[in-house]
Amino acid sequence: MNKFTKIKEHIYHKIESGEWPENHPVSSENALCKQFSVSRMTARRALQELADEGLVIRTQGSGTYVAPIKSQTSFMAIRNIADEVRSRGHDYRAKVHLLKEQSASAQIAEALELEEGAPVYHSLITHYENDQPVQLEERFVNPTLVPDYLKQDYSKVTPHEYLCVVSPLTEASHQIEAILPVHSVCQYLSIDRHEPCLRIFRRTWSSGGVVTFATLTHPGSRFKLGGHLTFKE
């Protein structure tokens, strides 16, 4: 592991363990230079990447602080919502509203590359951070690739965790849009109808084909996207 990565892992651990709660000051560039024997440029890059990912906030003249806790994720990565919440030192839980087999509509059949009317598995789950809803997950699953999907307890393991074990991800696609929620979404997320939401449509593939088509809806006030791209010279 290079020193740049070590700096990031060090700060990740401080936040994940709860030792550095939200708004806690993060080690300065100078302090990181001394601790890890790196250049100022390396320390600055590590802090900037963490800021781009939404984990810290950098304020000129004031320093770097652990970001106020909203649901934070990257549109370039697929992370387990339970891990994200727990990495911030917060409590995670889930409430399963629906878990059943049904016939695929034309839209769902197209997304899963099945025939219209073919059986699919359907789940609807609200994910909570410190008892506050942060994501509504609606997922359609190809039963031929994940035959035991309906037998799992998704209050104890997330669909993402289970699917990663039984049908490892080989490919994914995303579409992102801003919406105003319908009444049912407002109820599940405990928001009013004027609360803007961010909605992610996600398809995932394994070596056997399309595994799932998921719609992930987040309250705008509790969620943000971040990411960092490094381009080779």
Q: How far apart are the first and last CA of the chain?
A: 21
Task: Give me Rg for the CA atoms of the chain.
Answer: 20
- Mean pLDDT in residue range 168-172: 79
* Encoded amino acid at 45, one letter: R
Enter the CATH code of domain 3-66: 1.10.10.10
- Mean pLDDT in residue range 50-78: 72
pLDDT tops 70 at residue 80: yes
The pLDDT of residue 135: 96
Query: Could you tell me the residue ranges of all domains in the chain?
Result: 3-66, 72-222
Ordered alpha helix ranges (H), the chain: 3-16, 29-36, 40-52, 81-87, 106-112, 159-166, 183-189
Question: Token match 């059986």: residue?
Answer: 119
- Any residues with CB less than 8 A from the CB of 115 and at least 6 apart, and which? 104, 109
Enter the CATH code of domain 72-222: 3.40.1410.10
Q: What is the pLDDT of residues 125-137, one digit of tens each?
A: 999 999 999 999 9
How far is it, in rounded angstroms, from Cα 14 to Cα 167?
Answer: 32
